[in-house]
A and B are shown apart, each in its own frame.
Chain A
Amino acid sequence: MTNDKVFKLLGLFFVALLLFNFPILSLFSEGRPMGGATVIFTYIFLTWGAIILFTALIVESNQNNKPR
């Protein structure tokens, strides 16, 4: 396991922790419609998708270089 990968994932974890907690979350706590849904609903699901995407990019990178 490369150290860089570990730190990237650790960083992503902290970013996710930040984005999915107060006070950042409360900034979007509105019922205003946005993109067919409300601001908070859109924010949560878009962020969620982004985190999944970044996790996939980090985890799946360099798969071929791995020793096994």
Chain B
Amino acid sequence: MDAGIIILISIAYVAFLFLIAYLAEKREKAGRSLVNNSVIYSLSLAVYCTAWTYYGSVGRAATSGLGFLPTYIGPAIVAPLWWVLLKKVIVISKSQRITSIADFISSRYGKSTWLGVIATLIAVFGIIPYISIQLKAISTSFDLLATKQGALYLHAEIPFYLDSALYIAIALAVFTILFGTRNLDPNERHEGLVAAIAFESILKLMAFLMVGFFVTFWIYDGFGSIFRKAMSNPELSRLFSLEETNINGWEWFWLSFLSMSAVLLLPRQFHVSVVENTNPNHVGKASWLFPLYLLLINIFVLPIAIAGLDQFPAGAVEPDSFVLSLPLAHNKEILALFVGLGGFSAATSMVIVAVIALSIMIGNNLVLPLLLRTQAFHEEQYINLNVRLLGIRRISIIVVLLLAYGYFKAVGEQYTLVSVGLISFTAITQFVPAVLGGIYWKRATKKGALWGLLAGFGIWAYTLPLPTMVETGVLPIQFIDHGPFGIELLKPHQLFGLTGASHITQAAFWSLTANTVIYFFVSLFTSQSPLEVSQADLFVDIYKYRKGSTDYDVMRRQAMVKDIRILLNRFLGEPRGNLLLNAYENSQRIDLAQQKVAGADLVNYAETHLAGAIGAASAKIIIGSITKEEPISLEEMFKVLEQTKEIIQYSKALERKSAELERTTKQLKEANERLKELDRLKADFITTVTHELRTPITSIKALSKIIKETPNLPEEQKQEFLTIVVSESERLTRLINQVLDLEKIQSGPENRTLAPIDFAAVTERAYSGLRQLMRDRNIRHELMIEHQPLKVKGNNDRLTQVVVNLISNAIKFSKEGNGAITVHLCQDGQMAVLKVQDNGKGIQPKDQKLIFEKFTQLSDEDRGKPKGSGLGLFITHSIVAQHGGNIHVESQPEMGATFIVEIPIWTEKSQ
């Protein structure tokens, strides 16, 4: 067929597309949108099917049987989830005026400029190989149609100005510019484009079904005949076995996972499914119509592949072009032309939408933010920015297509369509953690997304596109075979020693694993800025915000109404700007002409609408240039800090008070306990004393009565009785004296005169006075005085009482019948130390303090009734204390007790 006719038909076809677009836009303006329709929406999603599907699937099926299917099975698996997942993304994007996948990611993570730049670069570099295969498909089919034989020459070997692929690239750039950049739509919606894409989807499906029918039912007698034919040939029958075509579960899973991600996240898919969406509910119908479309376009792939392998001698025709070669071989030129047109439509729809999506990204998320960052804001820069923005996009379109041509010429020709396409899929899959986490995990941070994407993209670049550079001679072949610098672990196709997986699978595995792990952990170890927190909340809980009427605003921003008007007019054009402001006035019922300063509400309104035209990150910067952000003034901050400080101090004071109170309460409790104990002791004491008093009185009374009533009582008997009466009276006196003594001692030391006396003499005297008693009781006794004289300052009578009390005590408590008492006096430093030791029962440790208390009498079952008044030791303790000394006891049960008294030595100096 004449090349001229083919070119003419192609041009006529494109003109027809323009007509469709023109009609669609005309109807949109008239308010009867053609595109606002779930069937058109579903068809526009079929931009997913490119030359890869149209030509490449058959090529893939010819070598690996069902291996072409995961690319379409993935979308079929994930489609039921669209109603949940895609709808949420659409609702978020509409409320945020999101214009591309890069914008979506940047916006979610605090409208980060850098994240937008990285995402754009990943998308651009990821998609270039994909665009290059469309160029290859168009030029190959052109060659085939024109000459009836493929691969007349290698594109890499002829100069570029003779290369048809270059002219195809240039023509596509022109189409794309005409389609996508005629005007700047604030919502980035192109109804004309969508209508044209939907038409192309119908055309390519019809063309492919037609060639499928031709092959299956014209050349052969239906599916049964083709499959039987294949089965009879062992070379062909292996295509039906997954094992024999080297497809295992691991490969299958990853390939379908890649396509699941790509069907939503490829820039062109995101553009048609999200940005061009007119109603989120269209997703419902699309979630089954689109898989149905995929099913139909795939059903003839395997039969065509088998037919191609059956009809042509091995290696004669490239399997990627079986679709076209089969009708040509049967001299069906009109059919072949139609099929070629179908392929042309598949390729052009992909190129046009993908390149428009990329140009929006490059303009909004790459060039504009960098421009705004590097140059100070001058008002004149905004003049005609509308035109400038379109200029940026047009240049990006040309650059992207030339890069794609460059890739095709350098490497693309060596690989099949599918293997190059999968490189792009793997790049796009890197967006999965950031997007999925972005809409379901609030804790995800900008740094997490940034580092995750960088890691995933880095591994992708290293393992997939870099090795293809070997073809161009930039890198030596050793790079693939032995790794860089001979490091085998870093071999790009067997990274970290992972063998047994295909290049794509191992690259997808490593890059996505690194990406996800880094995204997750960096997010957990970093914190979010206030804007990130509010964006995260808005993305994750979008339905909550949609129900509520008030838009949230994190910063209270103000700007002049005049400035906002200027900005909107410059960026969106005057009619559109005025329309927006009027709409705002109407909805809020205010008159902006009356106001000078616009509140946060209007600023946010302007920002979201600007974001539609220039992307979230750029809109934020531009609005930032006219607004006075007053998040919190310094003064307010200080006030808050001051208040916080006061509260902290107050609470500290409270804490102190409460601790004090606790202490006081504890002391009071203790005092109360002591008082109670004393009270109890007093009551006990009174009982004891009364008892003690009654005993002598009873005996005195009885004996006196006997003497009185028995006149003839023998004299000696009378004498004996009188002696008892006297001794009992003395005992009474002693007891009463002791009680009185106690009173005296307690009344204070001031009425007592202290003078230097010899403690040794006092001790000796008191000891001698009691020696007889000890002898009577058969107690061994000993007195040891080491230093004599031993001057202390004290009162003679009182100190005597101390010694007598202690020795009497020892007599009372020493062992019955075999007692032993030692009295020992010595000087220890500045103290005179008196020790009185007995060998009695001893004193329990718990009682050793208690015995010096007033009215304490130790009693237990062994000892029976107490032998004293309970005052002796207390009196002793009081006297010693008045002399500036101290007294304590050392004892262990059954080992006797030693009372130790220490009284300061008197010296000339102390006087």
User: Is B785 close to A, CB under 8 A?
Assistant: no
B76 engages A6 (CB within 8 Å): no
Contact with B along A9-25 (1 / 0, CB 8 A): 11011001100111101
How many residues of A are in contact with the other chain, CB < 8 A?
Answer: 38
Does B129 lie at the interface of the complex (its beta carbon under 8 Å from any beta carbon of A)? no
Known contacts A29-B243, A52-B295: does B84 contact A20 (CB below 8 Å)? no
Q: Would you give the shortest CB distance from A33 to chain B, in whole angstroms?
A: 6
* From A12, A16, A52, residue with most partner B Cβ within 10 Å: A52
**A52–B237 CA distance with the chains assembled, in angstroms:** 29
Residues on the A chain within 8 Å of B237, using CB: 31
B77 touches A16 (CB 8 A): yes
On whether A33 and B76 interact (CB within 8 A), knowing A5-B83, A41-B240, the answer reads no
B80 touching A9, Cβ below 8 Å: yes
Q: What residues on B are CB-neighbors of A9 within 8 Å?
A: 80-81, 83-84
Q: B283-311 interface mask toward A, CB cutoff 8 Å, 1 = contact, 0 = none?
A: 01101100110010001001000000000
In the assembled complex, the CB of B742 is this many whole angstroms from the nearest CB of chain A, namely 89
Number of A-B contacts (CB under 8 A): 112
For the complex, give the distance between the alpha carbons of A42 and B284 in Å: 27
Inter-subunit contact A45/B77 (CB<8 Å): no
Given A9-B84, A17-B77, A44-B66: A25 touches B281 (CB 8 Å cut-off): no
Q: Contact at A31–B240, with CB atoms within 8 Å?
A: yes
B241 at the interface (CB under 8 A from A): yes
Contact, CB under 8 Å: A59 / B83: yes
Q: If A21-B249, A36-B227, A49-B295 touch, does A41 touch B81 (CB 8 Å cutoff)? A: no
Residue of A nearest to B290 (CB): A52
Of A26, A33, A48, A56, most B-chain CB atoms within 10 Å = A48
* Chain B interfacial residues counted at CB < 8 A: 39
Provide the bound-state CA to CA distance between A16 and B287, in Å. 14
Complex Cα gap A38–B256 (Å): 22
CB A14 to nearest CB in B, in angstroms, measures 9
Is B884 part of the contact surface with A, judged by Cβ < 8 Å?
Answer: no
The answer to whether B227 touches A38 (Cβ under 8 A) is: yes
Is A22 touching B76 in the complex (CB atoms < 8 A)? no
- Cβ of B338 within 8 Å of any chain A Cβ, yes or no, is no
Q: Which residue of A lies closest to B245 (CB)?
A: A29
- The CA-CA distance from A55 to B238 in the complex, in Å, is 33
17 further A-B contacts with Cβ under 8 Å, apart from A9-B81, A31-B238, are: A9-B80, A10-B80, A16-B80, A20-B76, A20-B77, A22-B249, A23-B249, A25-B252, A33-B231, A36-B223, A38-B227, A51-B79, A51-B291, A53-B288, A55-B80, A58-B80, A60-B284
* B interface, CB within 8 angstroms of A: 66, 69, 73, 76-81, 83-84, 87, 222-224, 227-228, 231, 237-238, 240-243, 248-249, 252-253, 256, 281, 284-285, 287-288, 291-292, 295, 299, 302
**A-B residue pairs in contact (CB < 8 Å), sample of 23:** A5-B83, A9-B81, A10-B84, A12-B80, A13-B81, A20-B73, A20-B256, A21-B256, A22-B248, A22-B249, A26-B242, A26-B249, A29-B243, A30-B241, A37-B223, A40-B66, A40-B241, A40-B242, A41-B227, A48-B295, A54-B80, A55-B291, A68-B281
